[in-house]
Structure 1
């Protein structure tokens, strides 16, 4: 006879059974946290209802027998009928619709049905079949078996009405996803408190924003005292002071337009911390395009505010929520300072999986800094900008668009067509005249274009030119070009590309900086990963033809500190291999047409608005996968609140991970960490450390490495090099020359 409803069971270290986690305690604990999380966007009663109902399907006699039998908790339990997995989430979803009606119930049903497997599509029309909410609802035949005590707790918890009137587009779907985030994080945390009490104790304990601001101010004072008294450093201090001054303005969208080398990293953090303090916001989220810049900026932030106050979160090794262990290892962004990638941030805003959505509620009441914002993917610009508008309007988020080459994000009419961008953007550095003056004061190099950008240079010619300089950096647009040119260079020339893991790149960049500082000869061939945020300072920089923004970013690595007696030298050339197909190639073509019309185009920051306008309108679409339509119930079936969460998540891929695989490499400490992973499995701190030792390769390279037997699967869908032999200290992971 079952007298107590159970949610979870576990064994003690000695093999005995711990007291069960009761369904009542778990539902109440989850509801309490979900209410707290969703109250940040005025939806506390909705979070509470979702928390109380999420495991209501466990309140059936059949499911209770199933838990006891499958776990071994009650060996005498007898389960009638099928012996396979017995669902529970869809029962809670169906129950809230039954109790609350379709209007309120359907919203909660999406969250509850997906709290383990992910937000579903409404129907199977986009190909998700039996995973659709519509189909799952038809499979619930035993709703009447849920015990009365569960239902009695749900009846008074019915939410009254939504927190605002929804507009068309992404408004409703983003709100549901935020509720979902609040629920799954609450569920994870309450489960963790029972399953792994020690791990739960390690959460939290972070400093307040005010305390971080005090630490940051002390750090800047020490930095200013130690820095040389140069014109560039004086300008950087003035920029930082301007950021602090503007931080008192009301929440919204801000732009920070500062030339490369102007100290945007610390200045934007100064703004974010002061703005967060004034408006009582919870955290600062740095969104950065390249993992290499994430790593570098995270180091700066840790030095400024404390080692344990910063979470560095990449997309690599972001796990599916397939096991309790892997779910508990995923991040919920509960620290005051998050440093993440554009891929992680934007894909999470359109994700359906619990592990990816879990952190979203912590975006509410935050400052989000889009560093190098010009690299936001054009093909998804429409849904990204709409999400940004909603986060500002509904979720108390302030954005800082930080870059030397400000993209054309503002709403405007171009060629008679409305570009639905951001309506109100406050420029921190002042008006156009102020910014032009700033650019002129920080001019430290001259960019030289060939007379005819249609004339192609051979790699051998470029290599001979580079050999003339003792300190020179050459940036190309793809890995294969980087390897080909590097082979033609003298021994000792450094190679930098994403075939090297993050730790390896950091080590090499440290060596390069030391040689530059000590005026030791150093030549570097690199992909564009050094182009943004990596503060190298060469007297001469070569750049293969690319987007105008990329060329300016490359120039930011030339005479960065302004210490040369004359201007630095930046040489643009047309390489033998075109930029990769797609937007990168269109950007290079746009540059070619602008520069051939005006060779001085790069000297005026105003030209970037024209560059980005042209680039955006050359794009085939600013929503190539139709994301907005998939997530707008008004475009599908309004009566059913028809939203296609799972299909949209599958299609919103900034990086097409279906064409790439991630490999853990045995560079440096990576060797020991991989072996530790093999013995311990996916632990949270270990997964974080291993992010520094990952390399992503195309599927053809991955398959070839597998055929040669040099990689092993150390955990489901996690692969590692089996030895050090296939990783070079010079160029990183050794792959076949089969990449495009």
Structure 2
């Protein structure tokens, strides 16, 4: 029997034939969602063909039973190239059709890359890593591996029929469009990675394939519970107040709109208008009507995940099927092409853990969504196929980073056009994503809310007071707040940088009023506890002060009596205003917009540009308020803001990879005639470039970061954080690893490279499981600030 894996626990062997056929079957199920059953299945069938060699069989046997005799070191035996080479050898000659060649290139790249990242078809050095693997690399015993595959797993005749079916699917699915081929390649890669890891995990955990969820029945059940919750709200004594009547009406509009075909639509409910439940109502109804398999909320900040996920859990009365995905707790190491994967060790089990967005309802971040399509690390790409046949709800969509606008639009267009998904863009301040290069294919007449201007006016609960004529320092700001807070009541101060927030907090700490601080340096569980305490004070009506960055603006359900917002983009001002008098408790309250003198915005280009444009609109508003319907937050003002904003940042909308002096869309989605690498290759070699595809997929992924500086997730010594570290480092956590990793996300903080480096130098970071999981030591986490690089944390500071 040829071996694929050996379980370390009991030395049980998984047969290679069994692994290949079962992985094929899983991949077929994932690929079938796009009509690509055999294309994806082919990747599963061939991915470990190289394990039929004597070299691999010897390596695996000795690694388990004769470790003192090992002939081969880690990485010596290449088992991933053989399957890709077989496809290229059999289906990529002059006599083959374009779609046969395309199949060999797409599936072949997935196979040779399944332990790393997709390879470049052509690289910035004008060489082809893909061709090097499938044509040039020395593969001892390649012919032997092929012979054993056809004898043991599938006959040549059956294989030929299978490939014919795959070519037919590919021909029906696509033209040779470069944008389409990039996303298709990523999709097939996703199917393979998830199928391979899932089958290996099932063997390791000794479990059978789980019965698939009956999504239609589950969503119908959820829909009934949501309608019961909304009906109960109608029995509330305040149900007949104008704002609540309007909320109910917009919710009903979402229910009716859900019957429309899948597409890209907008839901522009004003802040405080019940957007979360209205969008959920649309999603649950649409999922039933159009046979969707999951509902995915994508939000800009983790603070919204924490709040919205809990609200949805409470209403649907289901803890088990609702996943919060904040970030990757496990750091994927750079393993090269051939990791030591035959023996399933504890470390390997971390990689196999279920992390593929299988849950029917998922809450995740915009960073994680973009990483699925464009970042390196096949843990990210593994999730992609589960975005198909879904309802995707983008909450506060205006927060898409400008550098990622083109990439965001292209991903959504693929999901709409080819992956049978429906997309809802939710925000009170809709960005004009359809009026930029690489435009978004929104549906015409796709706004769900009727009479938007009238609705916005009906929801007016604040007056924006422009105080930008006299720039303020923190010293002056603190004096003003302390003088007025007793008359204002609960006061929220939102500034643009962490440093000025912390400084203002320090200046206000001696105030007779309670003072709170919120920061992204805190783990999710910490912020959740802080917000719970804040909500208690809001309920009591106690005057207090909360100082924070913009993390509180998007979707956090709090309602202060007064808000002070440092000048920024008009969308940020509107979101800040949504934290004031949110539920119309008073007739009108004030939101003060200030110009802060001490904020350094030179490295925060988007905020700096937004601040300048908003300042200009405020000036024009003073002269001609009627142009903006008498409101600085009108639809006219917001549209004008985004028009100037995207125009000003036009050169930044397409992610630029400075290391190779190219826009990322050109690296991923260009035709041969547009590709300078191909042109140079042909001049250098005097021959035509031999491949149909020419994307530099690995180069693009290596240099892509949604946030300019890549962050590292560290588990904080807060609450259950220490217990989780103990579990991850013990021998007893393996049975429920996926659950532990999900819980750990609540206790992680994402650190920038300079913060991480500083803490490592101070010996404040502990590495676990060969550096795949990081722990922050006690003493480096503060109850006031979260991660404390001074090492003076853990002193049990009070909140005021």
Is the TM value for this pair above 0.5? yes
Which of 573, 581, 606 aligns to 2:604? It is 581
Cα deviation for residue 611 of structure 1 reads: 1.0
Q: Which residue, 71, 77, 97 being the options, matches 2:88?
A: 97
| Cα shift at 1:633 | 5.0
Pairwise CA distance, 1:627: 1.5
1:208 aligned to 2:227? no
- Give the 5 Å matches for 1:100-115: 100-101=91-92, 102-115=101-114
Shift of 1:147: 4.1
Change (3 A) 1:227 1:165: farther
Output aligned runs, 1:515-664, within 5 Å: 515-564=537-586, 566-576=587-597, 577-579=599-601, 580-599=603-622, 600=625, 602-619=632-649, 620-625=651-656, 626-634=663-671, 635-636=674-675, 637=678, 639-640=690-691, 641-658=693-710, 660-664=711-715
Matches within 5 A, 1:716-731: 716-723=771-778, 725-731=779-785
Candidates 172, 175, 183, aligned match of 1:174? 183
The Cα shift of 1:692 comes to 1.1
Judge which range, 364-373 or 129-138, deviates more.
129-138
Query: What is the CA-CA distance between 1:426 and the residue it aligns to?
Result: 4.1
* 1:233-632 mapped onto 2 (5 Å cutoff): 233-305=244-316, 306-320=318-332, 323-411=347-435, 420-430=439-449, 434-450=451-467, 452=469, 455-467=470-482, 468-469=484-485, 470-491=489-510, 492-564=514-586, 566-576=587-597, 577-579=599-601, 580-599=603-622, 600=625, 602-619=632-649, 620-625=651-656, 626-632=663-669
Please list the CA deviations of residues 90-128 of structure 1 after superposition, one character each: whole Å capped at 9, or x if unmatched. 11111111123233211111110111112111244359x
Question: Corresponding residue for 2:718?
Answer: 667
- Is the contact between residue 327 and residue 713 of structure 2 (CA under 8 Å) also seen in structure 1? no
Is the 1:531–1:554 contact (alpha carbons within 8 Å) kept by the matching residues of 2? Answer: yes
Q: Please tell me whether the aligned partners of residues 192 and 200 of structure 1 are also in contact (alpha carbons under 8 angstroms).
A: no
Offset from partner CA, 1:316-349 (integer Å, 9 cap, x none): 4254276521222251111111110000001211
CA shift at 1:609, angstroms? 1.7
SS of equivalent to 2:464: strand
Greater Cα shift, 692-701 or 343-352:
692-701
Question: Residue 398 of structure 2 contacts residue 571 of structure 2 at CA under 8 Å; is this kept in 1?
Answer: yes
Question: Which residue of the other structure, out of 197, 203, 212, is the alignment partner of 1:194?
Answer: 203
Q: Is the 8 A contact 1:120 1:133 kept in 2?
A: no
Contact in 2 for aligned 1:347/1:649 (Cα 8 Å): no
CA distance in 1, matches of 2:119, 2:270: 44
Post-superposition Cα deviations, 1:296-330, rounded to whole Å, max 9, x if no partner, equal 11111211221111111122425427652122225
Structure 2 counterpart of 1:691, from 735, 740, 745 = 745
Instruction: Give the distance between the partners of 1:34 and 1:223, measured in 2 at CA.
Output: 45
For residue 732 of structure 1, what is the aligned residue in structure 2? 786
How far is 1:279 from its partner?
A: 0.4
2:298 and 2:392 in contact (8 A); partners too? yes
Of the three residues 136, 139, 144, the one matched with 1:138 is 136
Cα distance between partner residues in 2 of 1:538 and 1:83: 59
Say which of 205, 223, 228 aligns to 1:218: 228
**Separation (CA, whole Å) in 2 of partners of 1:496 and 1:443:** 27
Contact kept, 8 Å, 1:92 with 1:112, in 2: the verdict is yes
**Any conservation in 2 of the 1:352–1:645 contact (CA below 8 Å)?**
no
1:405 and 1:608 in contact (8 A); partners too: yes
Alignment of 1:4-19 (within 5 A): 4-12=1-9, 15=10, 17-18=11-12
RMSD: 2.5
CA displacement 1:433-465 (0-9 Å, x = unmatched): x0000001110010111263xx42111111122
Closer/same/farther in 2, CA of residues 354 and 644 from structure 1, 3 Å limit = same
Distance verdict in 2 for CA 1:139–1:589, change over 3 Å: same
The separation in 2 between residues aligned to 1:82 and 1:726, in whole angstroms, is 40
Residue 296 of structure 2 aligns to a residue whose secondary structure is strand
Match of 1:415 in 2: none
How far did 1:84 drift? 5.4
Moved more, 578-587 or 171-180: 578-587
Counterpart CA distance in 2 for 1:211 and 1:424 is 29
- Could you give the per-residue CA deviations for residues 569-609 of structure 1, whole angstroms, max 9, x where no partner exists? 10000012144522121111111112112245523122212
C-alpha spacing 1:490/1:64, structure 2 compared with 1 (3 Å): closer
Q: Secondary structure at the match of 1:456?
A: strand
Residue 255 of structure 1 aligns to a residue whose secondary structure is strand
* Matched-pair contact (CA < 8 Å) for 1:665–1:671: yes
Q: Secondary structure at the match of 1:598?
A: helix
Q: Give distance in 1, aligned partners of 2:211 and 2:351.
A: 16
DSSP-derived class of the 1:9 partner: strand
Look up the SS of the partner of 2:227 in the other structure: helix
Q: Kindly indicate whether the alpha-carbon contact (under 8 Å) linking 1:113 and 1:133 is maintained by their aligned counterparts in 2.
A: no
CA distance in 1, matches of 2:186, 2:435: 26
Change in Cα spacing, 1:556 to 1:423, as seen in structure 2 (3 Å) is: closer
Mapped contact 1:126–1:647 kept (Cα < 8 A): no
**Residues of 2 paired with 1:575 and 1:203: CA distance?**
55
Q: How big is the shift at 1:624? A: 3.0
- 2:135 and 2:237 map into 1 onto residues whose CA distance is 65
Indicate whether 1:71 and 2:108 are aligned. Answer: no
CA distance, structure 2, for counterparts of residue 82 and residue 423 of structure 1: 53
SS in 1 for 2:580: coil
Q: Is the 8 A contact 1:364 1:391 kept in 2?
A: yes
Pair 675,84 (structure 1): closer, same or farther in 2 beyond 3 Å: closer
Q: Which residue matches 2:754?
A: 700
Contact 1:330 1:355 in 2 (8 A): no
Q: Distance in 2 between matches of 1:233 and 1:258?
A: 13
Give the count of matched residue pairs: 715
> How many angstroms apart in 1 are the aligned matches of 2:518 and 2:585?
25
Q: Could you tell me how far apart the structure 2 residues matched to 1:181 and 1:593 are? A: 46
Tell me: CA distance 1:202–1:366, structure 2 relative to 1, closer, same or farther (3 Å).
Answer: closer
Partner Cα distance (2:237, 2:195) in 1:
46
Distance 1:494 1:439 in 2: 31
The alignment's TM-score, normalised by the length of structure 2, stands at: 0.85
Where does residue 339 of structure 2 map in the other structure? none
Q: Give 3-state SS (helix, strand or coil) of 2:508's partner.
A: coil
> Against the structure 1 CA distance between its residues 689 and 419, is the aligned structure 2 distance closer, same or farther, given a 3 Å change threshold?
closer
